[in-house]
Chains A and B, each alone.
Chain A
Amino acid sequence: MLSHLFKLIWNKKGAHSLLIIEIWASFMVLFGVLSLIVYNVRNYLQPVGFEYEHVWNLDLASNQDTLEVAAKLERALQRVKAYPEVESVSRMSSNTPFSANQMGNSVTYNKVEVGADFYSTDGELSKTLDLKMLKGRWYQESDRVSKFVPIVINKAMEDKLFLDEAAIGKVIKVDDKKSFKVVGVVDKFKSRGEFMSDEPAVFELLAKDDVWNANMLIKTKPGTDANFEAKLVKEIAVMLPGWGIEVSYLTESRKNRQNLTLVPVLIFLIVSGFLLTNVALGLFGILNLNISKRKNEIGLRRAMGATEGRVTTQFLGEIWVLASFSLLLGLIFALQFPMMNVFDLDSEVYIIAIFAAIVIIYLIVTLCAWFPSKQAARIHPALALHEE
């Protein structure tokens, strides 16, 4: 049966080569778009690992003021903390959640080097963002002993850097004057939002005299509104003349961040959707023409006792063989991506995308061939043979 179908297709290889190219090209487009979607959906399904609902980001800039900046920052922090509307507040480096800033660095332990996002924060962050501790605890100022700087890492970092060992208590040497000591492990921290993959992260205790990291995350009590915000900005501005002050809500930054991913994906989805509709319509037209041209053949088969179902299966089988051949061609290209680790994506993403693309292609060709072959099979043998 299968070899017979191959023979039928081979006999018309000229006309079929164009069809094969078309299905192959559709497969490649689908594979590309689906990889993008699978990658993002997989990331989206993992929680960000922190609470951002009532959290504000207060961004301070000392501008031309260079006198006692650290002390002024500390005073501002205490002032913010004193408001009854504020639940908790912590200082953080400028790579606050959902911001566009990134600070990457690599850490080496036992010859294993891992690149991670570095966040400088104080002892309050786990409270402000409700970070889920897996092991150990969040660092405090008292954890800083001589040259040991306490750090908290996330699960992804623990798995990558320490492999099978437990992370708590491990010391990572940075240089002669500074070493990190792990005091806790948090679950996930996807600071660039839902669509970021779960990457290694390191939280480092902010130095007491630090003047560079002038962001504050403020967790407000529910129901706090812009009136409090205006009051806060005004009072801080009086306290710190000449400083830049900007307040943004994490919920808003999150939305901006999401759109950065969603808009391109949506555009690709719409465009490829139209492309595939186009292909499906064309395929339908071509199959319709091709099958109606083979009326005599159908009539003969029906006269010899083939049932409607068997005729339909023949035509479906033909298009399936054709599609399989194009997909085989497409797989040669598509499999390069997971094998060569293109774009550093998890090979699972590509494999899922390939499978989904194959399923969708088979679905489209089956749908396009179903109606014409059904119609052809219904022809009465007498009528079909009569035409000859």
Chain B
Amino acid sequence: MIQNYIKIAWKVLLRHPFYTFITLFGISLTLTVLMVLTSFLDHLFGSHYPENKRNRSLYVGTVVQTDSSGTTTSSGPASFGFLVKHAKSLKSAEKVTIFSNFSFSNTYVDGKKIKLNTKYTDSEFWYVTGFEFLEGKPYNDTHIRNGDHVAVITDALRDQYFDTNGETVVGRNIEIENVIYKVIGVVKGSPPTRLYTYSDIYFPYTAPKSNYENKGMRGRFVAIVLAKDQSDMPAVQSEFDSNIARIPFKEIQDGQKYSVLIVKADKYFDHFLSTFARSDSQKVMFYTVASLILLMFMGLPAINLVNVNVSRILERASEIGVRKAFGAPSKALLWQFIIENIFITFIGGLFAIILSSIVISFINSSGWIAYADLTINIPVFAISIVVCLLFGFLSGVLPAFRMSKLKIVDALKA
């Protein structure tokens, strides 16, 4: 039966290429944008190199100091000491790493300037993140204890700074702001959209200019708390919360007028969201606006499709009339039309997958984001299929309903 419906749908498609084009254009375009968007969001928030363990990582990124009424607020990264005291001490976590937020520097080679992102980390950083070492190895606790001037650089910086001639650069020196560091490892670079772990060069936190000795709560460091597995995350969060709750009031005041301290160990997306939507009502607002935009974006092509489909019912009135006259129930006709629509949507979906892989490979190779690794992965694909079905159903059900309501006489007359 279904085979027959699909055959009919195919014939209908071929009968009016222009209308077929309108339909397919709408479907494939909407799905393409949707797929590229989900792929990009996955690139931003999913677990990818080098933060492969992001799905069980908690981020301690900002310390918010405010007064009870919330009128004056000051926020920013924490100090090294603060994180050592309250995050590193977590017993329920597998590993905790503390590292500096991004900072910039320059280095010069042969009259050429190289702009650098720099980062100071502890040795656990290399365990928590999954950086792939192309040469050498990471620094360890001994390097940190001795305050050695060593550095791990990315392959991009290696190619810019050194004349490699195919030889390893491990053991060679790199000079930054008049301090000479020995390169002990080269890692594969990461896209700059991995905001916390992206850098060109990594130093042990005891290297010069890291400011890890600074007192107070605020500074330039962030922490990633790695839970043993995903189900463990709430336990780690509550332990961290109770750690924060134990901070005495005097310390919270920090010599200033603040009386409330908010520090959270959040999952990456929650952490990202809370940087611009602090209160719950703002979060609700964010989700409402986002879903409204999405609804508008998906709704417009859907209405368009429904419109085209409704207008085209009469084209097939005689066929329906004959089927009805021979005793086909309304339900059967309804299903036929819905199946036809889903079939068309899947064709559109196929085009969309081809189109979006072209767009994604274009984005990846355009250099718009260095080391971009956007992919159409399984979850993205699954979401698209569901969206396809929804789309087909949405644009098919109303015309089908109208058609099945058509009186036999009217249908045969037309």
Contact = CB atoms under 8 A, between A and B. Distances in A.
B354 interface: no
A64 B211 contact: yes
Q: Which label, helix, strand, loop or mixed, suits the secondary structure of the B interface?
A: helix
Contacts of B301: 275, 278
Interface stretch (A22-30, A190-198, A210-218, A376-384): A22-30
Interface in A84-105: none
Contacts of B22: 281-282, 284-285
A18 B296 CA distance: 15
B307 to A, nearest CB: 5
A279 B304 contact: yes
A286 B106 contact: no
A233 B209 contact: no
Interface in B27-70: 29-30, 33
B305 interface: yes
A226 interface: yes
B26 A233 contact: no
B213 interface: yes
B177 A278 contact: no
A179 B307 CA distance: 67
B188 to A, nearest CB: 25
B142 interface: no
Contact of B111 (A29, A64, A227, A274): A227
A243 to B, nearest CB: 8
B310 A293 contact: no
A19 B300 CA distance: 11
Contacts of A279: 300, 304
Q: In which size bucket is the chain A interface?
A: 35 or more
B345 to A, nearest CB: 15
A237 interface: yes
A219 to B, nearest CB: 18
A28 B293 CA distance: 11
Contacts of B178: 233-234, 237-238, 241
Nearest to A245: B177
Interface in B309-332: 310-312, 314-315
A274 B31 CA distance: 12
A345 to B, nearest CB: 16
A361 to B, nearest CB: 13
Interface string B69-96: 0000000000000000000000000000
A278 B105 contact: no
Nearest to A279: B304
A270 B151 CA distance: 43
Q: Which label, helix, strand, loop or mixed, suits the secondary structure of the A interface?
A: helix
Contact of A25 (B30, B300, B312): B300
Interface in B1-45: 18-19, 21-22, 25-26, 29-30, 33
Contacts of B314: 293
B108 A229 contact: yes
Nearest to A276: B300
Contacts of B306: 18
Interface residues of B, number: 40
A19 B311 CA distance: 11
A290 interface: yes
Interface string B206-230: 0011010100000000000000000
Given A29-B296, A63-B209, A282 B307 contact: yes
A22 B311 contact: no
Interface in A331-386: none
A230 B33 CA distance: 46
A271 B111 contact: no
Contacts of A61: 209
Given A242-B209, A246-B105, A282-B26, A230 B300 contact: no
A388 interface: no
A202 B178 CA distance: 37
B411 interface: no
B354 to A, nearest CB: 16
Given A28-B296, A247-B106, A286-B311, A226 B33 contact: no
A246 B308 contact: no
B104 interface: yes
A247 B106 CA distance: 7
B136 interface: no
Nearest to B109: A230
B297 interface: yes
B26 A278 contact: yes
B112 interface: yes
B300 A22 contact: yes
Contacts of B104: 59, 246, 248
B106 A246 contact: yes
A285 B20 CA distance: 10
Given A242-B208, A281-B22, A285-B22, A275 B300 contact: yes
Contacts of B257: none
A282 B304 contact: yes
Given A278-B29, A286-B307, 18 more contacts: A18-B306, A18-B307, A22-B303, A25-B296, A61-B209, A230-B108, A230-B111, A230-B113, A238-B178, A242-B208, A246-B106, A247-B106, A271-B33, A275-B297, A279-B300, A282-B307, A284-B22, A290-B311
* Complex A-B, nearest 4 residue pairs according to Cβ-Cβ distance, in ascending order: A237-B178, A230-B108, A282-B304, A226-B113
